[in-house]
């Protein structure tokens, strides 16, 4: 008899990765997965990511001690309604992994009112350009923020229980209200997506006047609009699920643009300089530079500017099975030397690589 029965509902990148970490952290748990389509179920069972798969959600749900829903928010809310009609185990613990939290937490409070059901909204803030259970990864959540939302449907002990189940995600768990979560992600993620899409739209409009415009879109423009190619399904769902916060950001941001416009119309160069200097300083101070959201480990190596230096340095790693994510020559320093940045998936590999470089070369290594 396993200690807990876990149900992962929705076998995509997030569901698959959660299943992997739960199983590896708790080999004695029984991890089952629901998925409507067959291919992810087949892959998950073949790869032993889970112990059991089915397209019968109800049958798996009634056996579960912990249920994690990995769907778009509206679909998750439909599953909450289904769950409320089933003879679930007493005090079953239900969570989700959606991008917005207030809508589902509010729905859960209403749907589960008076029932012996515990609910904690969750948002593991990790992702990959890969998608699907085929790309699922036990290390996906390592060092990522994993937001858990406080509500009337859970007590402090419930958070400890859920974090225990998810211990092997090695994520940084943060407890927030659903309102706080949605307000902050509107600033850092949802509204910036609207900006990126609007920048593309805007450049395209102007190209109707001067067609060569799109040829000049590069560099900063490229970086600022990359996320405009994200899934319209996902982002429509997010905007519909968090409209008040995003509208507030539109208002705040539009006022900022109006302020800059006034400075320009009045040719207030000192104030414009302050605006740019302030932004530069603020960004330099943001935790963004610590890469807190990245589950990766960097080494920075001062190297001479020669074309085979990457190959030379990698040669030092031969025979050690190091998980290299990325290699890049940075040109951020004024000196004639370049900086080779190598990104590792684990802290351990980072340490091994540092030792090998120091043993085999006279290059300076920073991390």
Cα–Cα distance, 84 to 77 (Å, whole number): 11
Binding-site member from 45, 62, 167, 329 for a second copy (CB under 8 A): 329
Q: Tokens for 27?
A: 């080999």
Q: Is residue 267 involved in binding a second copy (CB under 8 A)?
A: yes
Instruction: Give the CA dihedral 81, 86, 91, 93, nearest 10 degrees.
Output: -50
List binders of a second copy among 277-306 (CB under 8 A). Answer: 277-280, 282-284, 286-288, 292-294
Cα–Cα distance, 221 to 283 (Å, whole number): 18
Q: Is residue 200 involved in binding a second copy (CB under 8 A)?
A: yes
Q: Which is nearer to a second copy, 157 or 258 (CB)?
A: 258
List binders of a second copy among 131-160 (CB under 8 A). Answer: 131-132, 134-135, 145
Q: Which is nearer to a second copy, 273 or 366 (CB)?
A: 273
Q: Is residue 257 involved in binding a second copy (CB under 8 A)?
A: yes
Q: What is the spatial order of strands in the sheet that 30-34 belongs to?
A: 52-54, 30-34, 5-9, 66-69, 92-96, 117-124, 145-150, 172-177
Q: Is residue 185 involved in binding a second copy (CB under 8 A)?
A: yes
Q: Is residue 116 involved in binding a second copy (CB under 8 A)?
A: no
Q: Is residue 337 involved in binding a second copy (CB under 8 A)?
A: no
Cα–Cα distance, 263 to 271 (Å, whole number): 7
Q: CA distances (Å), 238 to each of 178, 251, 252, 305, in order?
A: 14, 18, 19, 45
The phi-psi region of residue 142 (left if phi > 0; otherwise alpha if psi is between -120 and 50; otherwise beta) is: beta
List binders of a second copy among 207-246 (CB under 8 A). Answer: 209-210, 212-230, 232-233, 235-236, 239-240, 243, 246
Q: CA distances (Å), 137 to each of 6, 130, 132, 156, in order?
A: 18, 10, 10, 29
Task: Print the binding letters for residues 303-322 with a second copy: x by CB under 8 A, - otherwise.
Answer: ----xx-xx--xx-xx--xx
Using the contact rule CB under 8 A, the part of the chain among 18-26, 33-41, 52-60, 330-338 near a second copy is 330-338
Q: Which is nearer to a second copy, 108 or 342 (CB)?
A: 342
Give least dist CB 285 to a second copy, A.
8
* Total site size for a second copy, rule CB under 8 A: 120
Query: What three-state secondary structure class fits 7?
Result: strand
Give least dist CB 347 to a second copy, A.
15
Using the contact rule CB under 8 A, the part of the chain among 51-59, 89-97, 155-163, 175-183 near a second copy is 175-183
> Which contiguous run of DSSP H or E holds residue 284?
helix 269-285
Residue with tokens 């698959």: 16
Measured over the CA atoms of residue 204, residue 206, residue 210 and residue 216, the dihedral's sign is negative
Which of 355, 59, 190, 275 is CA-nearest to residue 67?
59
Give least dist CB 243 to a second copy, A.
4
Binding-site member from 188, 348, 360, 367 for a second copy (CB under 8 A): 188
Q: Which is nearer to a second copy, 314 or 358 (CB)?
A: 314
Using the contact rule CB under 8 A, the part of the chain among 32-40, 76-84, 90-98, 130-138 near a second copy is 130-138
Asked whether 57 and 88 are in contact (CB, 8 A), the reply is: no
- The DSSP secondary-structure symbol of 116 reads S
Give least dist CB 104 to a second copy, A.
17
Q: Is residue 113 involved in binding a second copy (CB under 8 A)?
A: no
Using the contact rule CB under 8 A, the part of the chain among 54-62, 84-92, 110-118, 261-269 near a second copy is 261-269
């Amino acid at each position: 008899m396993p200690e807990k029965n876990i149900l992962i509902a929705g076998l995509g990148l997030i569901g698959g990765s959660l299943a992997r970490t739960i199983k590896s952290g708790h080999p004695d748990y029984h991890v089952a997965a629901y998925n409507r389509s067959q291919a992810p179920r087949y892959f998950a069972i073949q790869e032993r990511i889970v112990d059991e798969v089915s397209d019968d959600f109800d049958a798996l749900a009634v056996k579960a001690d912990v249920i994690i829903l990995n769907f778009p928010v509206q679909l998750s809310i439909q599953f909450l309604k289904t769950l409320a009609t089933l003879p679930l185990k007493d005090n079953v613990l239900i969570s989700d992994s959606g991008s917005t939290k207030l809508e589902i937490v509010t729905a859960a409070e209403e749907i589960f009112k008076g029932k012996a059901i515990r609910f904690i909204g969750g948002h593991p803030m990790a992702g990959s350009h890969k998608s699907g259970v085929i790309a699922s990864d036990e290390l996906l959540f390592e060092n990522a923020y994993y937001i858990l939302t406080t509500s009337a449907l859970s007590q402090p002990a419930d958070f400890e229980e859920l974090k225990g189940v998810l211990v092997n995600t090695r994520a940084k768990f943060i407890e927030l209200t659903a309102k706080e979560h949605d307000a902050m992600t509107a600033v850092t993620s949802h509204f910036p997506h609207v900006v990126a899409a609007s920048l593309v739209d805007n450049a395209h409009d102007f190209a109707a006047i001067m067609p060569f415009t799109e040829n000049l879109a590069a560099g900063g423009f490229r970086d600022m609009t990359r996320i405009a190619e994200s899934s319209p399904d996902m982002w429509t769902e997010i905007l519909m699920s968090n409209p008040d916060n995003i509208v507030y950001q539109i208002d705040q941001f539009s006022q900022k643009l109006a302020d800059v416009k006034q400075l320009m119309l009045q040719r207030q160069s000192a104030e414009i300089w302050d605006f740019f200097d302030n932004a530069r300083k603020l960004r330099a101070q943001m935790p963004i530079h610590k890469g807190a959201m990245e589950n990766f480990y960097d080494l920075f190596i001062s190297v001479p500017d020669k074309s085979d230096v990457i190959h030379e340095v990698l040669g030092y790693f031969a025979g050690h099975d190091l998980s290299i994510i990325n290699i890049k020559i940075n040109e951020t320093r004024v000196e004639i030397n370049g900086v080779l940045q190598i990104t590792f998936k684990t802290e351990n590999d980072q340490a091994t690589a540092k030792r090998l470089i120091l043993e085999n070369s006279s290059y300076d290594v920073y991390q």
